[in-house]
Amino acid sequence: MDKPTEMPTTDTKAERHKQRQQKLKAGVDAKIAAAQDEKGILLVLTGNGKGKSSSGFGTVARAVGHGKRAAVVQFIKGAWECGERNLLEGAGVTFHVMATGFTWETQDKQKDTAAAEEAWLAAEQLLQDESIDCVMLDELTYMLSYHYLDVDRVIKALQHRPPMQHVIITGRACHRAVIEIADTVSEVQSVKHAFDNGIKAQPGFDY
């Protein structure tokens, strides 16, 4: 007759949990010990889901909270009031806004290209300024997808920025050349979106 299987006691479960956590901690500690380089990070927030710009603005707010200088260049969405801009400008963050609105509203490639060029000139100046610790290029990906800006020119500016300057790029369908030089890439995917169910974008939550 087979001996009945003994159920783990509370003490046994606690010990197994402790062993798992110790193993996890050892792995984390090893990664921390190996990651000692310091440099400006190029962060890309892309994908079709909601929250890319919000995440980017959160990182800008974190920089400001640590006494860092930050600046934002907004492409495409500039015609909308922006709650993050209202808040962060008061905290000393510089904003450069393309201010043409969404490209499907203007339907004017020449106008949008000229506006993108003007906004990018401001971005290039920021990407050469060692006093700016963090630069957010909000919705830059569309400028490359629609060929309003030259990819090589953008890549060159990103690669030749001050070595300790962090850059955040947001927007859907990020160009592969930008992804290749990025240090961190997060892809935000959509599972459900209120807008698809007829709920309009609302101030204080969506923008």
65-103 pLDDT, tens per residue?
A: 999 999 999 998 655 678 899 999 999 999 999 876 555
When pLDDT is cut at 50, 70 and 90, the band that residue 27 belongs to is confident
User: Which pLDDT score, from 0 to 100, does residue 201 have?
Assistant: 79
Specify the CATH number for 53-190; select among 3.40.50.720, 3.90.1150.10, 3.40.50.300, 3.40.50.10490: 3.40.50.300
Q: Please tell me which residue, 189 or 5, carries the higher pLDDT value.
A: 189
pTM: 0.82
Tokens 């830059």 locate to 140
Q: Mean of the per-residue pLDDT values for the chain?
A: 88
**So where are the chain's domains?**
53-190
User: Which pLDDT score, from 0 to 100, does residue 148 have?
Assistant: 94
Query: What is the signed CA dihedral for 164, 128, 138, 88, rounded to 10 degrees?
Result: 80
Average of pLDDT values for 161-189? 97
99-127 pLDDT, tens per residue?
A: 765 555 556 788 889 999 999 999 999 99
